């Protein structure tokens, strides 16, 4: 946490994103529930990565507040507390997975960029906000089945030529089937990058029934 962020916590007291107790945006008790772990999606992703938590109702509430209420401090607190001390091997650049046009229009920001900036800062690495972008409109992934998700995203992203020859770490908010990360990996690899892995705030272990929290039903898998 930076000095400015600490001062903002003092001037604008918050409540924990999970348990709603003051005064911090994420209390130590709730953060202690989580630990980073390896994520593999062998059916979609050639590379493994790490998730900082497992998506449950409480994490869904926190991620929803981050994404839908612009509470960036939630994502930063998770990264600060839960990201492992050392990078996942040799990394040249941290790259955020892009949001599609409709999601960006609704929010006005790209959630993965907020997370990527913090990951890069914690590990002392450069990051790129625009290395990946969508080149066509895609449907909302939440309403699609596994096979439909892959088809929906196929060849939907393009990577900047500047990624060529660089070892890249991808960052997103949530991984479900791995389809979004797989497409980001394909685009980066096509541009000549080597994707070394990924970091996400949370992993969905299985599909859940519709939740009151948007982060469950509107994850970007």
What integer pLDDT is reported at residue 12 of this predicted model? 54
What integer pLDDT is reported at residue 217 of this predicted model? 40
**pTM, to two decimals:** 0.85
Judge whether residue 30 has pLDDT over 70. Answer: yes
Question: Is residue 150 in a domain?
Answer: yes
Look at the chain and report how many structural domains it folds into: 1
Choose among 29, 26, 32: nearest CA to 9: 26
Question: Is residue 45 in a domain?
Answer: yes
Contact between 171 and 119 under an 8 Å Cβ cutoff? The reply is: yes
In this structure, what is the dihedral angle of CA atoms 184, 189, 192, 194, given to the nearest 10 degrees?
100
Domain span holding position 84: 34-217
Question: Is residue 16 in a domain?
Answer: no
């Amino acid at each position: 946490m930076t000095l400015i962020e600490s001062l903002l916590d003092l001037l604008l007291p918050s409540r924990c994103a999970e348990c709603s107790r003051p005064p911090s945006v994420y209390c130590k008790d709730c953060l202690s529930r989580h630990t980073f772990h390896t994520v593999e999606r062998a059916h979609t992703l050639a590379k493994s990565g790490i998730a900082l938590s497992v998506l449950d109702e409480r994490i869904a509430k926190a991620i929803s507040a981050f994404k839908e209420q612009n509470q960036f401090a939630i994502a930063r607190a998770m990264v600060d507390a839960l990201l492992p001390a050392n990078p996942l091997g040799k990394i040249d650049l941290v790259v955020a997975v892009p949001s599609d046009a409709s999601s960006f229009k609704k929010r006005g920001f790209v959630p993965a960029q907020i997370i990527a900036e913090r990951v890069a800062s914690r590990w002392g690495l450069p990051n790129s906000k625009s290395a990946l972008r969508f080149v066509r409109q895609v449907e909302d992934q939440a309403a699609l089945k596994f096979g439909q998700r892959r088809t929906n995203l196929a060849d939907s992203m393009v990577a900047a030529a500047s990624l060529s020859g660089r070892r890249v770490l991808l960052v997103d908010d949530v991984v479900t089937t791995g389809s979004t990360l797989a497409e980001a990996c394909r685009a980066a690899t096509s541009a000549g990058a080597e994707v070394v892995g990924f970091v996400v705030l949370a992993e969905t272990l299985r599909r859940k029934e519709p939740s009151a929290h948007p982060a469950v039903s509107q994850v970007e898998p």
